[in-house]
Chains A and B, each alone.
Chain A
Amino acid sequence: MIAALLDPAVLNVVHATLEQALVSTAIAAAFGVPLGAWLARTAQAPSIRGWVWLLLSAPLAVPSVIAASAWTSIFAVPAFSGWGYSLRAVILAHVFLNVPLVALWSWQAIARVPRAEIELGRSLGLGRLGVWRRVILPRAAGGVGAAILQAFHYCSTSFVLVMVLGGGPAVQTLETAIYAEARFGLPELPRAMALAFWQVAIQILPWLALSFWQPAQADRGEWERRGRGGWLALPLAAVWLVPYGAVIAFQGSDSLGWAELGASAGISAAMALAVAALALLWAAMGLGVLGALERRGAARAARAWWIALQGPAAVSGIVLSLGFVLAFPASFGWGAPVVVFVQSVLLAPMALRLLWGEFHAPVGSLHELARSLGASARARWLAVEWPRWRGPVLTAGAWICVAALGEVAVWSFFQPIGQPTLPALLARWMAQYRFDEAQAASLVLLALSVGALAAARRGWRGAL
């Protein structure tokens, strides 16, 4: 096993993964953090702010198969063909995907710095730069750091974009190497495990750091927005969506299989909802234990438990699938349930992070009030708990649906039998020369993802 870990071929893949992910993340941060800071500082009408949020969130809702298809359309244009199918192409696609993410999270982190602290800094004689350096950045570092680490995680676990845009073995990452190992039959164990080990190692350190950086409380933004040029926010947020416009150019098809498309859309939606429900259940159970530990005053145990809950986030879909198959070889035949289960484990940390703020929101006085009014436990839950949880649960559920709809790594590992999901139908139609119809399936997949995103937006209202 040690020999496999230190095999030069394996280490080359580790090096290539780090190189690609670090460069992509650095560029995304270089654009995303200033954009987020500018958005936090600039005055915008609430309706514009809502649109900016939607535009910055939308790239995250574009399934990777669609993003890859859009970029291949762009690289087919002679002016851009020199960029295609190389490390540059992968980095470009990752930058367009991650700048909005970094900007959005940085925006939220900076907007949440309490106004009182900024005023205090000013009253102590700090200039504009001093306020940024001494007050805002230290307070927002956790959120900004989390955004950058999340971008690193996305770039280093990216699968479809690397496979399609990388051009082949020259841009091989740990994800694609593990896939190649298991492509024609069960994988060669030591090599697959060595690749999986390195992939987990690369992910685990940033995620440990991220776990410590989790904000203790979801402060609401109080910072006055005085900067001018709020109208510029819309085009600056929209520009990251431009590449995906290439996929919307659907020419129509004479023989579109609407029934199949509808059935697959239904299966995809049902599976995404099942993944969301299970992931929320895992998150609720995790937070329940965390709450119990905190009530007992076991702070260290609570912190350790929180970090443990983040564990699956340090594992990619391919690695988790590989581990599952190695532990339960028969799981190859378990079909859709195993895909739903593995995806739910994979996405549970996302639910946890989205529910965390509400988990620590102080509501004790409301409970006391309800109790003093003679409300039963059920009535208290309905009157106090559910109204405050509804938004975050809806948001988390919607984001998980978005992620599950476009997830193909776990699906391609198990390829469950029966009615195909939309990405599977897309692949099938392409294999049958039905490229126009595959384009239609892409659009339906995109519409479902954007629909889920719109649901997330409802839950988001008022967060900024």
Chain B
Amino acid sequence: MKKFLVLAWLTLGLANAAEPPCKASFYAYDTLTAPEGWATAVAALFARRYPGCVATAIPVGDSGQLISRLALDARAGKSPAQLVIGLDQQVWEKVRQWTTRARGIALPPLRAEAEAAGAGTLFGQGFIPFDYGVFALMWDSTSGIPAPAKWEDLLAPQWKRKLLLQDPRASTPGLAFVLGSREAFGARWAERFRSLAGQWLTLTPSWDQAYGMFLKGAAPLVWSYTTSQAYHVDHGKTDAEKQRYRAVVFEDGNPAQIEGAALVTAGLAAPGARESAEKLLKTLLTKEAQELVARKNWMFPASDEVKLPESFAGVPKPKRVLQPSFAARDVDRALKEWLPIAQRGEKR
């Protein structure tokens, strides 16, 4: 009996030694990995779903920093992360070359807007979409200024210096505004944007700067997400507070941001690393994880199978989802055309 126990212990020990540890580290931007962030909750879910497995977040500032980090890892040929969580279309175009397509991942049925924004196409390239948001103007309904109905309205005198936008060179929403306006205005974009340049109050370096100014009452319109409305409905203390800030979708369409994850090629060399990372990717798309997206990240879950919180019920649906190209050369061209207009436009 004693010999049998020793043998069993040795066998188990050897088996454990042979099996690689189930660990997955992931890069993500700072708000996802905050204690109350969505990725932190998903890491806990991963540990429950796969007992013995551990997911560790490596917070990396913001999405811009994700690119630098992945570029350096690719140059070094090694990475502490097996996954990156929190890519969007713009970042994906730059980092795609340093990622590996995951195996055995099945997408749940996607919500219509995610599909319209190209989530399925991105999935085909190795990008695992987990949430999305529709960019829109948020409007302070107590401002006495009416809400615009279409892109062209933004040029009218009543909205002069009433818009808070972001600098497209530093902010993803800012870039989406420029690319979205190019889609909406078409061939007349340069001429229209020259007029638009007198309409914004400022171009902030980040979304939060613009939104903070909006809440201080600096201007009645800010470029944000339709889901910002859900946040105010959820957090408003009175009915008036809940109803004050409304999302405005344009008749001629709004651009959307899709957020996703991917495997980091430079981090997959260790035995079992890829399998662990793929398990974490699958976890992102589970119903439990998708249900957490709305109130943890204030975005829409990619999956159509989950119920949204009540505060999302009144969020307006886009009339049309604009699908500008985020390819590096198209973004560069757009910014090169935008910069001189923006520089001249503000000298007023």
Which residues of A does B touch, CB under 8 Å? 69, 72-73, 75-76, 81, 84-86, 163-164, 167-172, 179-180, 182-186, 257, 260, 329-330, 332-333, 412, 415, 417-418, 420, 424, 427-428, 430-433, 435, 438
Contacts and interface: CB of A to CB of B under 8 A. Distances in A.
B298 interface: yes
Nearest to A330: B72
B218 A332 contact: no
B30 A167 contact: no
Contacts of A85: 201-202, 346
A72 B211 CA distance: 12
B30 A168 contact: no
Contact of A329 (B72, B170, B205, B211): B72
Interface in B43-70: 58-62, 64-65, 67-69
Interface stretch (B99-107, B299-307, B337-345): B337-345
A81 B218 contact: yes
B327 interface: no
A183 B64 contact: yes
Nearest to A329: B72
A330 B31 contact: no
Contact of B346 (A75, A168, A332, A433): A168
Contact of B30 (A76, A184, A424): A424
A86 B75 contact: no
Contacts of A169: 167, 169, 203, 339, 342-343, 346
A100 to B, nearest CB: 26
A431 B215 contact: no
A432 B90 CA distance: 21
A85 B200 CA distance: 10
Nearest to B207: A431
A415 B207 contact: no
Cβ-closest 9 pairs across A and B: A415-B61, A168-B203, A170-B346, A430-B208, A85-B202, A185-B67, A76-B218, A167-B202, A76-B216
Contacts of A257: 35
B213 A180 contact: no
Given A330-B72, A333-B72, A417-B58, A168 B90 contact: no
B311 interface: no
5 contacts: A183-B170, A186-B71, A260-B35, A427-B208, A430-B209
A415 B68 CA distance: 11
Contacts of A182: 68
B298 A433 contact: yes
A257 B206 CA distance: 23
B200 to A, nearest CB: 8
B112 interface: no
Nearest to A184: B64
A332 B202 contact: no
B218 A72 contact: yes
B163 to A, nearest CB: 11
B313 interface: no
Pick from B34, B90, B204 the residue with the most CB of A within 10 Å. B34
Nearest to B344: A170
Contacts of A76: 213, 216-218
Interface string B12-46: 00000000000000000011001110000000000
Nearest to A179: B170
Nearest to B36: A432
Contact of A170 (B71, B217, B345): B345
B231 interface: yes
Interface in B209-258: 209, 211-213, 215-218, 228, 231, 235
A329 B73 CA distance: 10
Pick from B68, B209, B215, B342 the residue with the most CB of A within 10 Å. B68
Contact of B59 (A84, A163, A186, A418): A418
A209 to B, nearest CB: 32
Contacts of A185: 64, 67-68, 71, 94
Nearest to A187: B68
Pick from B71, B90, B170, B205 the residue with the most CB of A within 10 Å. B205
Nearest to B164: A85
B26 to A, nearest CB: 12
Contacts of B211: 430, 433, 435
B270 interface: no
Given A164-B209, A169-B346, A415-B65, A432 B201 contact: no
B1 interface: no
Contact of B72 (A73, A164, A332, A415): A332
Contacts of B161: 81
B347 interface: yes
Nearest to A180: B169
B187 interface: no
Given A84-B202, A432-B34, 15 more contacts: A69-B212, A164-B204, A164-B205, A164-B209, A169-B167, A184-B94, A185-B68, A415-B60, A415-B61, A424-B30, A427-B206, A428-B30, A432-B31, A433-B211, A438-B212
B5 interface: no
A69 B201 CA distance: 16
Contacts of A332: 65, 68-69, 72
A430 B34 CA distance: 13
B201 A84 contact: yes
B6 interface: no
Contacts of B64: 183-185
Contacts of A430: 208-209, 211-212
Contacts of A183: 64, 169-170
Nearest to B76: A330
Contacts of B208: 427, 430-431
Given A73-B216, A76-B213, A415 B343 contact: no
B240 to A, nearest CB: 17
Nearest to B339: A169
A307 B206 CA distance: 39
Interface string B85-109: 0000011001000000000000000
A218 B61 CA distance: 44
Contacts of B213: 72, 76
A49 B69 CA distance: 51
B222 to A, nearest CB: 12
Contacts of A72: 209, 212-213, 216, 218
Interface in B305-348: 339, 342-347
A185 B30 CA distance: 17
A417 B59 contact: yes
Contact of A417 (B60, B215, B218): B60
A170 B342 CA distance: 7
Contacts of B212: 69, 72, 430, 435, 438
Nearest to A163: B205
Contacts of A428: 30-31, 34
A73 B200 CA distance: 17
Contacts of A86: 346
A430 B211 CA distance: 8
A186 B343 CA distance: 24
Nearest to A412: B61
Contacts of B35: 257, 260
